Amino acid sequence: MAHGRRTRNPPRPVVGIAGLGYMGLATALAFAHRRVPTVGYDIRPELRQRLRSGRSLIYEKGLLPLLRSEVRSHRFGVVDGWTELVRQATVIFLCLPSPRGPTGRIDLGPIEQGVRELGGALRGGTEFRLVVMKSTVVPGTTESIVRPLLEQVAGRDSATLGVASNPEFLAEGSMVHDALDPERIVVGVSGTREARLLRSVYRDFPSPLVVLTPTEAELVKYSSNAFLALKVTFANEISRVAERVGGDIDRVMDGVGRDSRVGPKFLSAGPGFGGSCFEKDVAALTERARELGVPVPLLGQLVPANGAQTRHAADLVREAVGGLEGTSIALLGLAFKAGTDDVRESRAVPIAEELVRAGATLRVHDPAALDNFRTIWGQREPGGPDGLVFCTTVEEALDQADAAVIQAAWPAYRRWLPRWSRLMRRPLVVDLRRALPERLRHRGDFEWVGLGVGRAGEGTQAPARGPVP
């Protein structure tokens, strides 16, 4: 090669995304943004039509402008079937649901159905295709279930069909950022050709690539979520101690998190973890370990401990109000956390059930998740408490309320306007996330009670608030 001539990277393969829910859509747009030609497919025709026109069914910060940009650039397109996906894409990522089954095991039904349909579309072809499991599945699934099923239905072997694992590490509320700039990319491969293709599609991502076996990659995903759930649960349990001794859990965890061996993330106490991942993944890993005959007592206690924290949050409201029979309570924040419209495993559901069961009338509000919460509330088992009032504004929820409960720390709630206190029959804020900043908590026009913060006269008095020295 002549001196000074630049080497040119070979063109990257077209990426296909099967399943355009939260994770699949964010993944597709991240590839497109990194100039990887990307096509997506979802079984919902109405969703496909919306995405083609730059509209999304999902609320997620930064998602809509990114979608519109990549649709306009033609780097992201939507196809109408498996056959077209297979025809256009060389590397196909399976972003299909893996819901929790009744025993804690994941339900592989949606994935197996997708693999069969993909296998049918692959049948008869001769060009190499790499199928990548991005859905969260227990260790061993890609090699022991996905690969043999796909090869059987497609009538192919490793000469023209590769299978790999590439778990996602996206947090709702920051999903776009996490997809565009992941802390690490974990891939599980069993051959050099699969590794080479995945290195190619991730070439322009500014993230370290960790190459493992498929089973190891799957175990990384479950281990990560279990460990984060453990950190949250630890902070939640210490928060109950802080309440009794007169401390402030945020000050305590700030001191704990400054230890580099611990780190500050996921030490923010609240009413319990929610969302589509933590409880499902902890339960699935625990069940898988049980099947393997491996005792995991620590993992086995995480979900029950999380439930105990949610009941504690409801008790905190009951104690602060002084009895709930006949009261009107504003429940602010229905998503499992601020920044998303996802209500899966939201702590707002069991908290609402407890408060209504205790005799309160509940007026609920969320900036993004109101419709999703209305749907999931209507899907509960018959016989549970009912009678929520769905409010489209904060003011409507607070009107003549005996208390306001902040369940998700949306920025809109953090400003707490003086007129909001005047709307209430009793200006009491029970802050399950300690969302209100210090300067507002003691303003005088309302009473503030925070989860994990000792109330006046309890335990030892904490020093003036401020950063831990």
| Residues with Cβ within 8 Å of residue 100, at least 6 apart in sequence | 106, 107, 279, 280, 283, 284
Residue holding tokens 């319990």? 272
Rounded Cα distance, 91 and 176, in Å: 21
Q: At 451, give phi and psi (nearest 5°).
A: -60, 130
Any catalytic annotation for residue 95?
no
Phi-psi region for residue 264, left (φ > 0), alpha (ψ -120 to 50) or beta? Answer: alpha
Q: Could you report how far apart the first and last alpha carbons of the chain are, in Å?
A: 60
Q: At 224, give phi and psi (nearest 5°).
A: -60, -50
Dihedral angle sign, alpha carbons of residues 440, 445, 451, 453: positive
Rounded Cα distance, 251 and 335, in Å: 26
Rounded Cα distance, 194 and 201, in Å: 11
Helix (H) or strand (E) holding 421: helix 418-423
Closest CA to 122 of 98, 146, 97, 144: 146
Q: What are the beta bridge partners of residue 38?
A: 15, 76
Rounded Cα distance, 391 and 118, in Å: 44
Provide the 10 A C-beta neighbour count for residue 171. Answer: 14
* Helix, strand or coil, per DSSP, at residue 388: strand
Pairing assessment for the beta strands 403-406 and 428-431 based on DSSP bridges: parallel
38: amino acid identity, one letter: T
Among 277, 302, 391, 405, the active-site one is: 277
Residues with catalytic function: 277
